[in-house]
């Protein structure tokens, strides 16, 4: 087989065979096919697309390029959740404990990642002593015992995706539905889940800005998952404004604890119940979404979800007293209010730029090498559609440096107040099966 024939075939709009797809994925991973040929093929795929069968083949070729996690030692149907990423997305922390409390095992592999705030692991590490460096045996045992555990990314998972993603990043070929969908799904499938619930974000703070693009990506991922034997569904949720109130690592842990107590921000609670209901049904613990939601509301109301979270923190070395006393989490030295300059209704809280404001404080990583400050961040007091009086605080800035002028200016620039009444955006925009 010759790579140049594969490139020409795709360039001409033909479908590649399973063998041809395996050939280029394996050849690129082992270094026998050079960057320039693969980047040419990526561009051909960008313009010519792939059919459903090719997308599934590409995904599985990437899955098989490295290790696959064996979760067969865990009893029950393992359901994983994946978000395409947004600002202040604290969902995983609360959702895992809620779903686990209903009896669905949540075996999570998580990363640190780049972004406005840290990843799930960074957030959890703001709890004194908490760590994710646990053995595979401990991971499996903990999920069987308390139904949830988080482990750091280990082993050689989807090396083909790592190389391809890095190449796409510098060759103008990231924004391709078949390439994004196969990239995300290969990582989820290699991580071993039986069923996958996807939270595809749309809006200013999302990777997919338009609803149409988000829907196309969601359909593509659902099709891939189902065709390779993993039950997969997606919801499309709003990311035009940050999720919940908190943006920042320790601040989001506190928000997650509030949510587990049933006292979280309305949008975050609703998203947890929506995603959680789908997970509970896929996990076989309820036959309808209504029944699943009732079970989740019950474990929040009776404290069982919070209890699972405490056990989970203790099992991974953390100090669970933060659950009853969140003031024990890292605290920033300074807080500063951002008073509204006029009265009216909040029209926009532009997620992307507000996220950048949190990053300027040190809550996120600009590069892989940056260190993050777990204590800093933002707490919103208003969401889109809320009424506001002049002088009322829109946001509290939690900072470890005294001068927050730049952050304050950024917030004023990207939180827009209108004289006219504004509708709150719809949180759940679509469900895709």
Active site residue 183: yes
412 contact, one of ligand URA, Ca ion, none, CB 5-8 Å limit per kind = none
| Site for Ca ion contains 119 (CB under 5 A) | no
Active site residue 168: yes
| Site for Ca ion contains 86 (CB under 5 A) | no
Active site residue 161: yes
Structure tokens at 134: 């646990």
CB-nearest residue to ligand URA? 183
Pairing of β 334-339 and β 246-247: unpaired
> Are 133 and 85 within 8 A, CB to CB?
no
In the complex, what is the shortest distance from the CB of residue 395 to Ca ion, in angstroms, rounded to a whole number?
13
- Binding to Ca ion, residues 230-259 (CB under 5 A): 243-244, 246
C-alpha of 116 from chain center: 12
244 contact, one of Ca ion, ligand URA, none, CB 5-8 Å limit per kind = Ca ion
The footprint of ligand URA (CB under 6 A) covers 165, 174, 179-180, 183-184
Q: Which lies closer to ligand URA via its Cβ, residue 162 or residue 429?
A: 162
Q: Which lies closer to Ca ion via its Cβ, residue 131 or residue 261?
A: 261
Active site residue 82: yes
In the complex, what is the shortest distance from the CB of residue 220 to ligand URA, in angstroms, rounded to a whole number?
11
**Order of strands across the sheet with 231-238?**
79-83, 195-202, 231-238, 428-432
In the complex, what is the shortest distance from the CB of residue 119 to ligand URA, in angstroms, rounded to a whole number?
13
In the complex, what is the shortest distance from the CB of residue 48 to ligand URA, in angstroms, rounded to a whole number?
17
| Site for Ca ion contains 115 (CB under 5 A) | no
Q: Which lies closer to Ca ion via its Cβ, residue 181 or residue 253?
A: 253
Active site residue 373: no
Q: In angstroms, how far is the first alpha carbon of the chain from the final one?
A: 37
Q: Which residue has the tokens 């082993």?
A: 155
Nearest Cα to 282, choosing from 152, 358, 194? 194
| Site for Ca ion contains 180 (CB under 5 A) | no
Q: Which lies closer to Ca ion via its Cβ, residue 90 or residue 274?
A: 90
3-class SS at 276?
helix
User: What is the C-alpha to C-alpha distance for residues 375 and 270, in angstroms, rounded to an integer?
Assistant: 26
Please identify which of the residues 112, 168, 231, 311 carries the catalytic annotation.
168
Strand runs (DSSP E) across 221-350, as ranges?
231-238, 246-247, 334-339, 344-349
184 contact, one of ligand URA, Ca ion, none, CB 5-8 Å limit per kind = ligand URA
> Are 308 and 148 within 8 A, CB to CB?
yes
| Site for Ca ion contains 185 (CB under 5 A) | no
Site size toward Ca ion (CB under 5 A) is 5
Using alpha carbons, list the distances in angstroms from residue 424 to 68, 240, 301, 348.
Answer: 42, 11, 27, 10
| Site for Ca ion contains 90 (CB under 5 A) | yes
Q: Which lies closer to ligand URA via its Cβ, residue 224 or residue 379?
A: 224
Q: Which lies closer to Ca ion via its Cβ, residue 248 or residue 283?
A: 248
| Site for Ca ion contains 274 (CB under 5 A) | no
336: left (phi over 0), alpha (psi -120 to 50) or beta: beta
Q: Which residues, at least 6 apart from 190, have a Cβ–Cβ distance to it below 8 Å?
A: 63, 66, 67, 68, 69, 157, 158
Where in the sequence numbering do the catalytic residues fall? 82, 161, 168, 183, 187
Chain positions contacting Ca ion, by CB under 5 A: 88, 90, 243-244, 246
């Amino acid at each position: 087989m010759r790579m140049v024939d594969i490139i020409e075939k795709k360039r001409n709009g033909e479908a590649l065979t399973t063998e041809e797809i395996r050939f280029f994925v394996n050849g690129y991973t082992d270094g026998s096919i050079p960057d320039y040929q693969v980047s040419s093929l990526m561009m051909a795929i960008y313009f010519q697309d792939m059919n459903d069968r090719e997308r599934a083949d590409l995904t599985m070729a990437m899955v098989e390029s490295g290790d696959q996690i064996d979760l067969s030692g865990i009893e029950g149907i393992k359901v994983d959740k994946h978000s395409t990423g947004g600002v202040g997305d604290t969902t995983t922390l609360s959702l895992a404990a809620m779903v686990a409390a209903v009896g669905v095992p949540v075996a999570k592999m998580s990363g640190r990642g780049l972004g406005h705030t840290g990843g799930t692991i960074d957030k959890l590490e703001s709890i004194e002593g908490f760590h994710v460096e646990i053995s595979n045996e401990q991971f499996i045992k903990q999920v069987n015992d308390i139904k949830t555990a988080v482990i750091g990314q280990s082993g050689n998972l989807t090396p083909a995706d790592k190389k391809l993603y890095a190449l796409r990043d510098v060759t103008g070929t990231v924004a391709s539905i078949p390439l994004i969908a196969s990239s995300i799904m290969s990582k989820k499938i290699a991580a071993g889940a039986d069923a996958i619930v996807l939270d595809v974000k749309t809006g200013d703070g999302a990777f997919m800005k338009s609803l149409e693009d988000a829907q196309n990506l969601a359909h593509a991922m659902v099709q891939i998952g189902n065709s390779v034997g993993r039950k997969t569904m997606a919801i499309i949720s709003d990311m035009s404004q940050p999720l919940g109130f908190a943006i920042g690592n320790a601040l989001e842990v506190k928000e997650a604890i509030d949510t587990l107590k049933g006292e979280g921000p309305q949008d975050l609670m609703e998203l947890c119940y929506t995603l959680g209901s789908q997970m509970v049904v896929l996990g076989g613990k309820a036959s309808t979404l209504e029944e699943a939601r009732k079970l989740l509301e019950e474990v929040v109301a009776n404290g069982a979800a919070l209890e699972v979270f405490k056990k989970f923190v203790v099992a991974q070395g953390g100090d669970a007293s933060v659950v009853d006393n969140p003031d024990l989490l890292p605290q920033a030295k300074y807080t500063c209010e951002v008073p509204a300059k006029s009265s009216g209704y909040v029209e926009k809280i532009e997620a992307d730029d507000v996220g950048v404001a949190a990053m300027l404080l040190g809550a996120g990583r600009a590069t892989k090498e940056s260190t993050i400050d777990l204590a800093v961040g933002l707490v919103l007091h208003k969401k889109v559609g809320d009424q506001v009086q002049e002088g009322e605080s829109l946001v509290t800035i939690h900072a470890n440096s005294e001068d927050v002028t730049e952050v304050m200016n950024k917030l004023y620039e990207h939180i827009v107040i209108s004289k006219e009444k504004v509708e709150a955006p719809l949180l759940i925009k679509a469900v895709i099966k």
